């Protein structure tokens, strides 16, 4: 049993090691002593508020998760159980390519009986709706800083095209049927159709409107958290700082997501530090300190919460490891 649980933990090791490497690189980009002084001199009265805003983000995203479960056929599922699975999925974001998040589909199957492929469609819908939400938050920033327009347009167009293909049912089913002619894909044709049926439901206009609205508001919370981190480091308050903070947090989230790196590690940190330096004229030490503080309050806070849930859900680990 212990060996089975270790199987899942081993999947996290590359992401955790990569996260430590990114931590070191961020410190070395600036001056080690200066970055340390920036962090030690941070006004820690702001940090509880930053964490509360992060929890606000998680709360709204949980509502979206639970709403999605109802759409794919998981009815009358206790909120406490739903929250347990939602939080338990956080550490899986730091697995290579975030592939570990597919385990949420396995957990759903064991607890509710819903097909694994439908559960995975919920994970996909979460990611796409979050992506559209942070892209909406990035809109004003992209207008103000046109250099980011090409990347914004490519990612936004790609997400919209994917949703349109899913919603054009005859075309999507035709693609699935054509794929079924290949031996390698034919083996998964049943699961692929289940995945499509779940995705089709989750991307209906009403569902996507609700999900993107929740995603936009939830990620705005973390953007405000980024603003408070900057205030704690002595950056002048004001609408300019606030708007740049929201844009930087949102756009770096997109960059991290499309990078397919574990938890967006490296890509998100480089984006945050680089944009803070470029857009707010912060020195490298302050930008590095701000990046470390916001990533600990968001990504690593989430991983810690998820691991805590794992500690109280050993059967969840054993069951997933059986797969």
* pLDDT of res. 97: 58
Q: What is the mean pLDDT of the chain?
A: 84
Is the separation of the CB atoms in 219 and 131 below 8 Å?
A: no
261-264's contacts with Cβ under 8 Å and 24+ in sequence apart are 261/18, 261/97, 262/14, 262/15, 262/18, 262/19, 262/93, 262/94, 262/95, 262/96, 262/97, 262/98, 263/15, 263/19, 263/93, 263/94, 263/98, 263/299, 263/303, 264/299
The rounded distance, in Å, linking the Cα atoms of 102 and 114 is 14
Give mean pLDDT, residues 124-134.
92
Interval 289-320: pLDDT, tens: 999 899 999 988 998 999 899 888 766 665 54
Among 15-19, 115-119, 143-147, 244-248, whose mean pLDDT is lowest? 15-19
* pLDDT of res. 215: 93
Give mean pLDDT, residues 127-152.
88
Interval 31-76: pLDDT, tens: 667 777 888 889 999 999 999 999 999 999 999 999 999 999 888 8
Q: Is the pLDDT of residue 6 over 60?
A: no
* pLDDT of res. 94: 79
Identify the residue whose tokens are 């990533």: 295
- Under DSSP, the state recorded for 261 is S
* pLDDT of res. 234: 93
Task: Please report, for the chain, the start and end positions of each structural domain, with discontinuous segments joined by +.
Answer: 2-322
């Amino acid at each position: 049993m212990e060996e089975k649980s270790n199987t899942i933990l081993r999947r996290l090791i590359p992401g955790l090691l990569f996260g430590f490497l990114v931590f070191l690189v961020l410190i070395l980009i600036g001056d080690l002593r200066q970055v340390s002084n920036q962090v030690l001199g941070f006004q820690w009265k702001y940090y509880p508020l930053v964490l509360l805003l992060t929890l606000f983000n998680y709360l709204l995203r949980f509502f979206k998760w639970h709403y999605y479960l109802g759409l794919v056929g998981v009815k009358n599922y206790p909120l406490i159980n739903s929250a347990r699975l939602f939080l338990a999925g956080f550490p899986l974001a730091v697995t290579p390519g975030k592939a570990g998040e597919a385990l949420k589909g396995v957990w759903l199957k064991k607890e509710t009986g819903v097909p694994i492929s439908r559960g995975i469609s919920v994970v996909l819908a979460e990611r796409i709706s979050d992506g559209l939400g942070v892209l909406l938050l990035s809109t004003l920033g992209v207008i103000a800083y046109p250099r980011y327009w090409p990347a914004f347009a490519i990612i936004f167009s790609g997400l919209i095209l994917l949703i349109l293909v899913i919603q054009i049912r005859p075309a999507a089913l035709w693609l699935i049927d054509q794929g079924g002619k290949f031996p390698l894909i034919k083996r998964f044709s049943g699961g692929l159709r289940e995945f499509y049926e779940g995705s089709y439901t989750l991307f209906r206009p009403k569902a996507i409107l609700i999900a993107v609205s929740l995603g936009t508001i939830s990620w705005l919370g973390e953007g405000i958290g980024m603003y408070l981190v900057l205030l704690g480091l002595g950056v002048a308050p004001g609408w300019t700082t606030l708007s740049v903070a929201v844009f930087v947090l949102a756009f770096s989230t997109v960059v991290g997501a499309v990078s397919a790196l574990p938890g967006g590690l490296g890509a998100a940190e480089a984006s945050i530090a680089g944009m803070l330096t470029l857009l707010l004229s912060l020195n490298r030490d302050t930008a590095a300190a701000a990046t470390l503080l916001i990533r600990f309050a968001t990504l690593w806070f989430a991983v810690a919460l998820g691991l805590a849930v794992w500690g109280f859900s050993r059967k969840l680990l054993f069951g997933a490891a059986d797969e």
